[in-house]
Amino acid sequence: MPLSDSSREPSLEYAFHPRSMAVVGLSPDPHGTWLNRMYLQAPLEAGFKGPIYPVNRKGGHIGHIRVYTSLSEVPEPPDYVVSCIPAQQTPDLLEECRAVGVKVLQLYTAGFTETGLSSGIKLQDRLLEIARRARIRLIGPNCMGVYCPDWGMSFSPDLPKEPGNIGFLCQSGGNAVFLIRSAAARGLRFSKGISYGNACDVNECDILEYLADDRGTKVIAAYIEGTSDGRRFADVLSRAAAVKPVVVYKGGYTEAGGRAAASHTGAMAGSEVIWDGIIRQTGAIRVNSIEEMIDMLVALVQMKRPKGLNTCVVGIGGGASVVATDEMEKAGLRLPPIPPSIQERMAQIIPPAGGMLRNPIDAFPLSRLILYKKRAQGGKSGNAHAGDKGWSDFMSLLENWPDIDAVIFHFPFDTPPVPASNWAAATVEPVLTAVRTCHLPSAVVFHSIVTDASWRESRKMQAICLAEEIPFFLSLKGAAESIAHLHQAGQIAKIWSVEKQH
Amino acid sequence: MPLSDSSREPSLEYAFHPRSMAVVGLSPDPHGTWLNRMYLQAPLEAGFKGPIYPVNRKGGHIGHIRVYTSLSEVPEPPDYVVSCIPAQQTPDLLEECRAVGVKVLQLYTAGFTETGLSSGIKLQDRLLEIARRARIRLIGPNCMGVYCPDWGMSFSPDLPKEPGNIGFLCQSGGNAVFLIRSAAARGLRFSKGISYGNACDVNECDILEYLADDRGTKVIAAYIEGTSDGRRFADVLSRAAAVKPVVVYKGGYTEAGGRAAASHTGAMAGSEVIWDGIIRQTGAIRVNSIEEMIDMLVALVQMKRPKGLNTCVVGIGGGASVVATDEMEKAGLRLPPIPPSIQERMAQIIPPAGGMLRNPIDAFPLSRLILYKKRAQGGKSGNAHAGDKGWSDFMSLLENWPDIDAVIFHFPFDTPPVPASNWAAATVEPVLTAVRTCHLPSAVVFHSIVTDASWRESRKMQAICLAEEIPFFLSLKGAAESIAHLHQAGQIAKIWSVEKQH
């Protein structure tokens, strides 16, 4: 929402929805630089809802856009300023911000406490002192800033323009980019998020508090390297996790990792035991990589919640089925045996030789039958309704199996002796058609991808999943752990009411 | 080597180097099937060193190749026969094999003990009884068979034709294909290997024993779902692991996984505790996925062995450096701080702002400098020798740091705010040039790849690594665990003398 001037202290609303923006330190160099892409091209393409003013002492033009020589030359006082100038010059910039009435200063600029040098620490202290007096909020320093697609705030040209329901806070800029890109590839979208670096003013607690209250945010994702106020953090996390799912990745959880975090964002990484205790006690969900975080978000946002851990695993290939079973069981899922009555009816669909009709189910013979049938019909896809002797009938059988809480279909792309380009579409598509109508919590896993052919074929199948809103994973482990967490988290915090996106 | 007739019992030599081969059950269907690709196209393209005779009761032709109607019609008695016919017909085929003097029968055919049906169990027992009397070795049933590139034995058209120094045994055919393809993508090649399925005759012990004695095999990789003779297995593994590195992946190590293994290959999966004990006591290296196995093989075959666990981690990006450090420390590697004297000299190469000059090192500012320098020079690559103020000088500094046993360079492709197509080549190539001349054990990690652009760029960089014989990994965890294992395994079994391939 747009902001009206008011007497209250500049809040994070000015960070997510500034009326205008200036970027200080962009180069008029016609070749362009990373910074131009990040802070001019990205918000312009994302449709930033206000004017953007590049500022550089040298003036000039970037493309057709005029570069102003100072903040005071800019036609209106910008709510939000991005600093891309050297650290030593930032106190002067902050004074200039005060003079023109800026609300938020985001510092891409690095070279502060994270250097470990006393000069850097002093400089950051000085910035904070000026900002507090001037009632300007600082984001960073040493960060990428704000991503808020519904307002056109962005720091990379290739991030999605459409908004969604996940809010994030990410102490690392690179991890923020990776988080958004990875999520985008899986059909996840964001309400708003901040890469907040050294957290000298706006910190993990402020953002978490904001996102907990934010109506557009249904799920929170947090990558945090440290906190300077453990008590407040535990308190804020606890309140946030009580109202919506919060997924936390603590970066720098080993001893050397903690030292690396200090060197990266000046973070006080703290003890692993304390962090783990806080995360568990508050009911937040802990993950240990961006990949795990994305998988957990896919489960939370896109999947129906399983009532229990009983899972049926259906795949292509015996070895892959054994591997899948180990991963499922290790993650805490259970694979109960198929009741004889259902097994008998299944045997009428799937021939026994070269398959496995227990749980896991190796449906390779069924896939081959369908593949040949399809080829005989000149490539036209077969039936996908009751009585098809194919995936639709198979799915009905699963739905009649009362003990099952979830179904996982998995496709290993590089295990068959014939390249994926020869079989993937014809084999996977009929399953996706059936999964779409499945009433049980279900997901698809595309895995064991090492060749270019398999990458390409898998991307085509992913595109179908995205269009049909079928949740998919790219590793068996990721699927298993996320689905187990999804059930367990639901047990802990029954209050959550994340609606399925579709 | 080719075989001469002798009075000794047909040995596995006939499996790896048969003088001629017949494939029973191939279809003359002009559209071709998977089986034609696997057992005709694959060995023909791999240059099988003898005639291949397709056999099918119906006769006819596959392309220009004549299909014989029976084994006795084939011009010479084939040493090696592949069965692709239904299970019920296999005893008759075996009798026919005896009549013409076949040495090895490999059964792709499934439908035996793995079905759990008494009819399947009886059928397999009957086969074994006939084979023992006829002195014919059986491979399988329910398997893909033999891969021996120097003799043109193959079961998939896209497996490498060049031989190498890794021998494998793999109870699953799909996992065998995935193992070979994954290895191929990393520059690894094989001496010989068998996908051996139900192991009714030729089993894990026989193959392990053979590969332990095989001169062309320097490292052994084993995917095993179960054994029927634990005592012999422990004994054979122990002898093999004493003479060369053996990497073991026990499939079906959870309870449900064990049941799945029984359903897949009729394997007696056994207790996880006993398996773990046996693998540890024999000095073999245990892994828990094909991905981990490939990483371990890369380390064993391609890397110099580190004298200790002290590792320097150099990468692009702060968040990625924190993540990398956690993974390294979790895997057991140590990241000692850089000595002040070296740090000072490093600071003359890498500017402090936006980087990290401890250990891990975030060399982002150096990469940008080189990128800009390169662009200013019109894309020509800069110096890569002493005094270049770039990676070459940086590498010399690392080599002067006496405490360091290994260096890991890592490149996250999807964390920078600008797509990889804009920076990857110019950023990564100068590092690879320097790594090539590095005297320390070193490796490169390409990770955080989710977009098509990053996949493509990373493949280009992988191609350079393959050409320059630089070991690379595709996950930080995989690199860290393999390098830690490499050091530890070397401590246990000093007897190994795996030569570097280059």
- What are the sequence ranges of the domains in chain A? 13-139, 162-302, 311-491
Superfamily of structural domain B311-492: Succinyl-CoA synthetase domains (3.40.50.261)
What confidence tens digit (pLDDT) does each residue in B61-88 have? 998 999 999 999 999 999 999 999 999 9
For residue A141, cis peptide bond before it (omega within 30 degrees of 0): yes
pLDDT value for A382: 58
- DSSP-derived 3-state class of residue A278: helix
Tokens representing A469? 């809103």
Distance CA(B498)–CA(B301), nearest Å, equals 7
Over 70: is that where the pLDDT of B8 sits?
Answer: no
**Could you write out the DSSP letters of every residue in A444-489?**
EEEE---SHHHHHHHHHHHHHHHHHT--EES-HHHHHHHHHHHHHH
Across the interface, do A256 and B451 touch by the CB < 8 Å criterion? no
Across the interface, do A117 and B352 touch by the CB < 8 Å criterion? yes
Across the interface, do B329 and A255 touch by the CB < 8 Å criterion? yes
For residue B375, give the chain A residue with the closest CA: A31
Comparing CA positions, the residue from B458, B457, B455, B491 lying closest to residue B472 is B458
- DSSP-derived 3-state class of residue B287: strand
Across the beta sheet with A137-139, the strand order is A52-55, A21-24, A80-83, A104-107, A137-139
Within an 8 Å CB–CB cutoff, is residue B352 touching chain A? yes
Choose among B181, B320, B324: nearest Cβ to A414: B181
- DSSP-derived 3-state class of residue B387: coil
Choose among B176, B178, B288: nearest Cβ to A448: B178
Distance CA(A429)–CA(B371), nearest Å, equals 44
Please give the share of chain A, as a percent, with pLDDT higher than 70: 93
Query: Which residues partner with A27 through β-bridges?
Result: none
Distance CA(A80)–CA(B177), nearest Å, equals 55
When the pLDDT of each residue in chain B is averaged and rounded to a whole number, the result is 91
Shortest alpha-carbon distance between residue A374 and chain B (Å): 13
Distance of CA B329 to the CA centre of its chain: 26
The answer for B 460-499 residues in CB contact with A (under 8 A) is none
Q: Is the sign of the CA dihedral A190, B416, B451, A261 positive or negative?
A: negative
For residue B417, give the chain A residue with the closest CA: A156
Across the interface, do B322 and A261 touch by the CB < 8 Å criterion? yes
Q: Which of A21-30, A412-421, B34-43 has the lowest mean pLDDT?
A: A21-30
Over 80: is that where the pLDDT of B355 sits?
Answer: no
Residue of B115, B326, B474 to mutate, testing the A interface (most A Cβ within 10 Å of its Cβ) = B326
Cβ-based contacts of B225 with chain A (< 8 Å): 322
Q: What number is the average pLDDT over the span A371-384?
A: 68
Distances (CA, A) of B18 to A359, B22, B48, B51, B351: 39, 10, 9, 10, 63
Over 80: is that where the pLDDT of B250 sits?
Answer: yes
What confidence tens digit (pLDDT) does each residue in A169-218 have? 999 999 999 999 999 999 999 999 999 999 999 999 999 999 999 999 99
- DSSP-derived 3-state class of residue A13: helix
Across the interface, do A34 and B418 touch by the CB < 8 Å criterion? yes
- Between A376 and B143, residue with greater pLDDT: B143
Per residue in B437-449, is it b (16+ CB within 10 Å) or e — as a string? ebebbbbbbbbbb
pLDDT value for A267: 85
Within an 8 Å CB–CB cutoff, is residue A173 touching chain B? yes
Across the interface, do B414 and A261 touch by the CB < 8 Å criterion? no
Shortest alpha-carbon distance between residue A60 and chain B (Å): 21
What confidence tens digit (pLDDT) does each residue in B275-301 have? 999 999 999 999 999 999 999 999 999
- Between A470 and A263, residue with greater pLDDT: A470
Distance CA(B128)–CA(B146), nearest Å, equals 19
Cβ neighbour number for residue A144 with a 10 Å cutoff:
28
pLDDT value for A384: 66
- DSSP-derived 3-state class of residue B399: helix
Over 60: is that where the pLDDT of B4 sits?
Answer: no
Distance CA(B134)–CA(B225), nearest Å, equals 28
- As a residue count, chain A comes to 502
Comparing CA positions, the residue from A14, A31, A70, A77 lying closest to residue A51 is A77
Within an 8 Å CB–CB cutoff, is residue A356 touching chain B? yes
- Between A165 and A355, residue with greater pLDDT: A165
Name the pLDDT band for A2 (thresholds 50, 70, 90).
very low
Please give the share of chain A, as a percent, with pLDDT higher than 90: 79
Tokens representing A105? 């200063």
Distance of CA A216 to the CA centre of its chain: 16
Shortest alpha-carbon distance between residue B36 and chain A (Å): 10
pLDDT value for B499: 45
Q: Identify whether the C-beta of residue A419 lies closer than 8 Å to the C-beta of residue A324.
A: no
| H-state helical runs in A160-203 | 173-184
Residue partners of B182: CB distance under 8 A and separation at least 6: A414, A450, B290, B291, B294
The torsion region of residue A312 among left (phi > 0), alpha (psi -120 to 50) and beta comes to: beta
Shortest alpha-carbon distance between residue A376 and chain B (Å): 11
For residue B422, give the chain A residue with the closest CA: A34
pLDDT value for B353: 67
Residue of A170, A310, A322, A418 to mutate, testing the B interface (most B Cβ within 10 Å of its Cβ) = A322
Across the interface, do B254 and A225 touch by the CB < 8 Å criterion? no
pLDDT value for A381: 57
Q: Do domains B13-139 and B162-302 have the same CATH topology?
A: yes
Comparing CA positions, the residue from A243, A223, A146, A236 lying closest to residue A191 is A146
Distance CA(B82)–CA(B22), nearest Å, equals 6
A-B Cβ pairs (cutoff 8 Å, strict): 251
ipTM of the complex: 0.94
Across the interface, do B260 and A356 touch by the CB < 8 Å criterion? yes
Within an 8 Å CB–CB cutoff, is residue B256 touching chain A? yes
Q: What number is the average pLDDT over the span A129-157?
A: 97
Residue of B321, B322, B335, B448 to mutate, testing the A interface (most A Cβ within 10 Å of its Cβ) = B322
Q: Identify whether the C-beta of residue A173 lies closer than 8 Å to the C-beta of residue A48.
A: no
Within an 8 Å CB–CB cutoff, is residue A177 touching chain B? yes
Across the interface, do B450 and A115 touch by the CB < 8 Å criterion? no
Choose the CATH number for A162-302 among 3.40.50.261, 3.40.50.410, 3.30.70.2080, 1.10.260.40. Answer: 3.40.50.261
Comparing CA positions, the residue from A150, A178, A179 lying closest to residue A162 is A150
Distance CA(B444)–CA(B431), nearest Å, equals 9
Name the pLDDT band for A301 (thresholds 50, 70, 90).
very high
Instruction: Please give the span between the terminal C-alpha atoms of chain A, in angstroms, as a whole number.
Output: 25
Query: Which residues partner with A264 through β-bridges?
Result: none
Phi, psi at A75, each rounded to 5°? -55, -35
pLDDT value for B377: 72
Distances (CA, A) of B331 to A159, A170, A407: 33, 25, 33
Within an 8 Å CB–CB cutoff, is residue B43 touching chain A? no
Within an 8 Å CB–CB cutoff, is residue B451 touching chain A? yes
CATH of domain B13-139: 3.40.50.720
Q: What number is the average pLDDT over the span B306-315?
A: 95
Tokens representing B17? 């180097």
- As a residue count, chain B comes to 502
Tokens representing B420? 């990889």
Q: Identify whether the C-beta of residue A311 lies closer than 8 Å to the C-beta of residue A333.
A: yes
Over 50: is that where the pLDDT of B7 sits?
Answer: no
Label the pairing between strands B104-107 and B137-139. Answer: parallel
Cβ-based contacts of A158 with chain B (< 8 Å): 419, 451
Q: Identify whether the C-beta of residue A179 lies closer than 8 Å to the C-beta of residue B423.
A: no
Tell me the three-class secondary structure of B90-105, residue by residue: HHHHHHHHHHHCCCEE
Choose among B174, B358, B414: nearest Cβ to A181: B414
Over 60: is that where the pLDDT of A396 sits?
Answer: yes
Across the interface, do A257 and B156 touch by the CB < 8 Å criterion? no
Over 70: is that where the pLDDT of B331 sits?
Answer: yes
Is B499 buried (19+), middle (13-18) or exposed (0-12) by CB count in 10 A?
exposed
pLDDT value for B3: 44
Choose among A177, A185, A417: nearest Cβ to B156: A417
Amino acid identity of residue A131, one-letter, is A
Over 80: is that where the pLDDT of B378 sits?
Answer: no
Distances (CA, A) of B398 to B435, B438, B441, B442: 11, 9, 12, 11
When the pLDDT of each residue in chain A is averaged and rounded to a whole number, the result is 91
Within an 8 Å CB–CB cutoff, is residue B415 touching chain A? yes
Comparing CA positions, the residue from B406, B413, B427, B390 lying closest to residue B313 is B406
What confidence tens digit (pLDDT) does each residue in B415-449 have? 999 999 999 998 999 999 999 989 999 999 999 99
For residue B360, cis peptide bond before it (omega within 30 degrees of 0): yes
Over 90: is that where the pLDDT of A86 sits?
Answer: yes
Shortest alpha-carbon distance between residue B231 and chain A (Å): 24
Distance CA(B439)–CA(B419), nearest Å, equals 32
Choose the CATH number for A311-491 among 3.40.50.10320, 3.40.109.10, 3.40.50.261, 1.10.3720.10. Answer: 3.40.50.261
What confidence tens digit (pLDDT) does each residue in B102-152 have? 999 999 999 999 988 999 999 999 999 999 999 999 999 999 999 999 999
Per-range mean pLDDT, top range of A117-121, B33-37, B462-466: B462-466
Choose among B260, B265, B321: nearest Cβ to A260: B321
Distance CA(B124)–CA(B109), nearest Å, equals 11
Choose among A329, A358, A451: nearest Cβ to B263: A358
Q: What number is the average pLDDT over the span A354-366?
A: 85
Distances (CA, A) of B186 to A146, B182, B297, B299, B497: 39, 7, 10, 11, 21
Within an 8 Å CB–CB cutoff, is residue A299 touching chain B? no
